[in-house]
Amino acid sequence: MNAPSLSFAFDAVAAVLVIPVVAAALLALLPGYRITARLNVLATLLTLLAAISLFVTERREPGQYLLVDDLNVVFIVLNAFVGFTTSIFSASYIAHELDTGRLTPANLRFYHAMYQIMMFGMNLAFVSNNIGLMWVAVELATLTTVLMVGIYRTHEALEAAWKYFILGSVGIAFALFGTILVYLAAQPVVGEGYDAMVWTILVKHAAAFDPALLNVAFVFLLLGYGTKVGLAPLHAWLPDAHAEGPTPISAVLSGLLLNVALYAVLRFKILLSVSPEAIAAGPLMMTMGLTSLIFAAFMLYRRRDIKRLFAYSSIEHMGIIVFAFGLGGPLANFAGLLHMVMHSLTKSAIFFAVGHVAQIKGTQRLSAIRGLTETHPGLGWGLLAGVVAITGLPPMGIFMSEFLIVSSTFATHPLLAIPLVFGLLVAFGALLLRLTGVAFGQPRGSFAPGEASYVPMYAHLALVLGAGIFLPPPLVSWFQHIANLLR
């Protein structure tokens, strides 16, 4: 067995991890809102630049703990980009919360420090080559978001944070048990110790692992990490967490944290596919994906709170993504990867708009938000563009990904295309019904002008629109390569 080793050279991988840690320490000590908000934006910008540099820097051989490959670079760059734009949105959003007294200066120092620790936890999960370390990183990211969901200290916020903590703990316990079972399956083949937890070693020898242990392990891993993904019926924490926490955290939850758990599932799916006698992970994922899609689509009709509405939309779309990856094959995997990126950009943009709307109107109730395109055109048309994108209408990028998923389903499992298309149509009708009045109804509530920057929202929507019109050939080739890796 090789001795555990970790190079501490300050390269791009180290920067992605070190910058958030250093920033969190500084943010926990520095007083004053302006300096901490700016430092939070600067830290996420530096992390984004370090993540982008992974495209051009020479990659080291995987170590006992860290790994950078084509698959996780997609997640790392997306994570850093949305983290950066959300920090810009957060600066103006949280300033309003401070002015209204909903948050205190002490809470703000805690908020910004936790934001950076959350970024560190998610980045660590993506670059972990050790399945135990990946589990720890997912748990760290979860715990920081639990604390941030309850930051308002209201009864509802604390209840939402507690529910998130309890259900998340159950899920992460399942994931831990599944991780232990993978270790037990690997131990007779690769030996005791660190090697039996290193993913790159596991995937080389998985064909010789006990298939029965792998089967049971994947069931627990899918249930455990599936809780974090927000798949029905393991989703109960997600709507409350979105509705009661600060809106920047809603954007991060939908746009980023759900992807972290999805990434863990995909890593173990690859591991399972190497074993010829293990069960196929695809049918399990397709079942949970379709269940989440159809369940969330109907639940959209019953929402009265705008943040809860889009929380269930996140459940719907994570169901679509998990279904696509479960379907497998080059086309479905490509579509699932594209849909994941488009959903992260679109849903975070929607929450940027929703956060400003809730602050201007002083409520999250849909019945009190009407005629936004007339009273606040910048917000109203931005939110409408986000809804057009998230419902899969052309020419937005989600239309392309959903078209590819439906096409792949018709080609390989035509009967499953029926519930898939049905769920998409039900969800489309619900969002159209709920948001028509919000955009074009008789104006009501506050008419006060907003003071926030809409740049992050429109930047995301521009990328989604651009992807729907034209995908650069290098990006297509890269995604196709990753789709083949996912098997």
pLDDT in tens, 95-105: 878 777 777 77
- Token pair belonging to 329: 């094959």
Is residue 112 domain-shared with residue 169, that is, in the same domain?
A: yes
184-208 per-residue burial string, b: 16 or more CB within 10 A, e: under 16? ebbbebbeeebbbbbbebbeebbee
201 and 61 share one domain? yes
Q: pLDDT band at residue 447, thresholds of 50, 70 and 90?
A: low
Q: Give percent helix, percent strand, percent coil of the chain, each to the nearest 5.
A: 80, 0, 20
Q: With bands split at pLDDT 50, 70 and 90, how would you rate the model's confidence at 266?
A: very high
pLDDT of residue 449: 60
**Domains contained in the chain, number:** 2
User: Are the C-beta atoms of residues 37 and 112 closer than 8 Å to each other?
Assistant: yes
- Give the mean pLDDT of 253-270: 91
* Chain segment 458-470, per-residue pLDDT in tens: 999 999 999 999 9
> CA 129 to CA 112: how far, in whole Å?
28
114, 215 Cβ separation under 8 angstroms: no
Assess whether 436 and 484 both reside in one domain. yes
Mean pLDDT throughout 438-465? Answer: 81
Instruction: Indicate if the pLDDT at residue 138 is higher than 70.
Output: yes
pLDDT for residue 450: 59
CA dist., res. 233 & res. 237, Å (int): 11
Check: CB of residue 33 under 8 Å from CB of residue 64: no
Model confidence at 445, in pLDDT bands (50, 70, 90)?
low
273 with 296, same domain: the answer is: no
Same domain, 432 and 484: yes
Residue 1 predicted with pLDDT over 60:
no
What span, in angstroms and rounded, lies between the C-alpha atoms of 311 and 230?
A: 10
Helix (H) or strand (E) holding 106: helix 105-127
How confident is the model at residue 243, as a pLDDT? 87
Residue 441 lies in a domain: yes
pLDDT tens for each residue of 66-79: 999 888 899 999 99
Q: Check whether residue 165 and residue 18 sit in a common domain.
A: yes
Dump the DSSP string for 425-458.
Answer: HHHHHHHHHHHHHHHHS--BS--PPP-S--HHHH
15 located within any domain: yes
Picking from 234, 256, 279, the residue at the C-terminal end of a domain is: 279
Which of 279, 309, 333 is a domain's end point? 279
Chain segment 182-220, per-residue pLDDT in tens:
999 999 999 888 889 999 999 999 899 999 999 999 999
Here the tokens at position 308 are 């809860």
- The pLDDT score that the predictor gives to residue 5 is 39
Q: Which domain holds residue 262?
A: 9-88+97-279
Among 222, 244, 279, which residue terminates a domain?
A: 279
Length of the chain: 487
**Short-list 63, 5, 62, 1, CA closest to 187:** 1
Do 43 and 82 meet the contact criterion of CB atoms below 8 Å apart? no
Residue 473 burial (10 A CB sphere; 0-12, 13-18, 19+): exposed
2 is a domain residue: no
Whether the pLDDT of residue 9 is over 50: the answer is: no
Q: Mean of the per-residue pLDDT values for the chain?
A: 89
The number of C-alpha atoms within 13 Å of 480 and in the hemisphere containing its C-beta is 7
Q: How far apart are CA 75 and CA 56, in angstroms?
A: 16
For residue 4, tell me if it sits in a domain. Answer: no
